[in-house]
Amino acid sequence: MIAGMPIRWLLFTTSLSGRAASTARVRLWRALKDLGVGSLRDGVSLLPATAGTRAAFDALAREVGAEGGTAWLLELPAQTPPVDEALIGLFDRSTDYAELLQTLTLVATGLTTLDEGAARRAMRQAAKSLADVERSDFFPGPPRDQARAALAGLEAEINRQFSPQEPSPGSGEVQRLDPAAFQGRLWATRRHLWVDRVASAWLIRRFVDPGARFLWLAAPADCPPDALGFDYDGADFSHVGDKVTFEVLLASFGLDTEPGLTRLGQLVHALDAGGLPVAEAAGFEAMLAGLRDAAADDDALLAAATPLLDALHHTYSGARA
């Protein structure tokens, strides 16, 4: 029982003949594992009944049939509370959450030995692992909440150590602006540039304000009144909703329909805020880390990163083809 309501269950049984290829058996096993099924015995799997789980089982049934096997999908009638409790126990994810908590603790205690790129990669991997566990956690409880809190704590500590005053998502709509009103301006952001800030500075100089001058701030409060701030709380341009600063600049200046810049925005978003992976992200992050280590200051870093961002934009725009 959950909140006084009986649980509906789907029972999925399969049988593959001896003639079925071993690869088909392995695919079926992996698919069931990814769904997070409870196993009652070999060939008999269980999931809570939802539209999503039914569709997933239906798709697997078609695959089994295509391999010459048989599959049955049955909806169980309401069970007694003791039976429901026993079935819910098949979906206990506390061990998975405990392993994730251990990983998060190890990353947090070893932050002083990591550079920013490695720390953020470890955090994104932990976030992906948490999302994977949550997808098959049909009966979440305190272990999930503890893992979420630990991940949030790790992100806060990484930001404190590597990116003090990292902007929080703002609310409201992004306003469309005329680039002609933003020429020859002084732009300011937090020093010790990383992905979003260096890409935003590149975007400003390449596509918004070719004569832009940049000021790298020790603290946002140091921003002069005549400067346009970006990528910190209270800045003229910063995170809005699920958009990182680079994406906000694209939308603000009507650049969000340009395919190369849009794809570059996806890369920046993946590295700065997580989400859908981008194949080139890890390589870009590694190269940026090397450039930052070698650069004498943020001006030198932006100069060194510019050809790299130019090349990515060139490729994303389809020029390679």
pLDDT tens profile 122-169: 988 898 899 999 999 999 999 999 999 999 889 888 877 877 667 777
Is pLDDT above 70 for 232? yes
**Residues 204, 189 contacting (CB under 8 angstroms):** no
Q: What is the DSSP string of 103-138?
A: HHHHHHHTGGGS-HHHHHHHHHHHHHHHHHHHHT-S
pLDDT tens profile 259-302: 999 999 999 999 888 878 888 998 999 899 899 989 999 999 99
pTM, whole model, 2 decimals? 0.64
* Token duo for residue 118: 């490695």
pLDDT band at 321 (very low <50, low <70, confident <90, very high): very low
Which of 113-117, 190-194, 211-215, 303-307 is predicted with the least confidence, judged by mean pLDDT?
A: 113-117
**Residues 200, 245 contacting (CB under 8 angstroms):** yes
Of 274, 256, 298, 310, the residue nearest 122 (C-alpha): 274
